[in-house]
Amino acid sequence: MPEEIREFNPDVPEEILKEDLEKYRKLALEFGADDAVALPASEVVLDERVLARCVSPMCPYFRTNLHCPPYGMKLDETRRVVEAFRWGIFVMNKVPAGEQTGKDYYDPTHRLPGAVKMYKIVAKLQSAAFYDGYPLAMAWSGGPCCKRVFCPTKECQGLKGEGCRFGHKVTPTMHSAGMDVFTMAARAGWKIYPIGWETTADQVPYGLEMGLVLID
């Protein structure tokens, strides 16, 4: 918890919001991000084809946790949520290519420290915004689903109505909500490469982990 908690104001002036956005952008870098930009919420790219890709080919984590399709937020719900915000902080980390390539990527023993790091960064940013008087700030990670990162060998407790094992550490992923992170990354000026089952570490210079925190 921060040393000082700001009084809530439902009508934060635009100039204060802009100052806070720059504060959170710098905080993301302090938390370990390689880059972060303030992004108008209107520039969050939503596309139903992102969700369709969860089943073509079928992702092994489809229907295995509350944040992945067919559970979690539907595209129309995501669109309404995004439209309720004015701004967001879009965050990026480069990770070694070997972390995201190879056919053992979905092996539970294959570690994903870059993904864990991004979950932590967006959770911290959401918390910082919350205590600054933005109680509805909402975070999404951009990497693998929470089950792959946190519970690869355990059943999702949320599906049994028992609550998440990791509470505030876990957020939905951008793609699980229908956000096109490839297009958003390219428009932010970040180089991003398609990485699939057949990709080897020598074919791409690095992988990307991304995240988004919407603030208003």
**Helix or strand run (H / E) with residue 214:** strand 207-215
> What radius of gyration, in Å, describes the C-alpha atoms of the chain?
17
pLDDT tens per residue, range 90-127: 999 999 999 999 888 888 889 999 999 999 999 999 99
pLDDT at 142 over 70: yes
Two tokens, residue 33: 């991000």
Segment 28-44 shows an average pLDDT of: 98
pLDDT tens per residue, range 157-183: 999 999 899 888 899 999 999 999 999
pLDDT at 1 over 70: no
**CA quadruple 135, 70, 169, 199: dihedral sign:** negative
Q: How far apart are CA 115 and CA 135, in angstroms?
A: 25
Please name which of 172, 215, 180 lies closest in space to residue 82, comparing C-alpha atoms: 215
Note if the pTM is more than 0.85: yes
Domain extents for the chain? 30-215
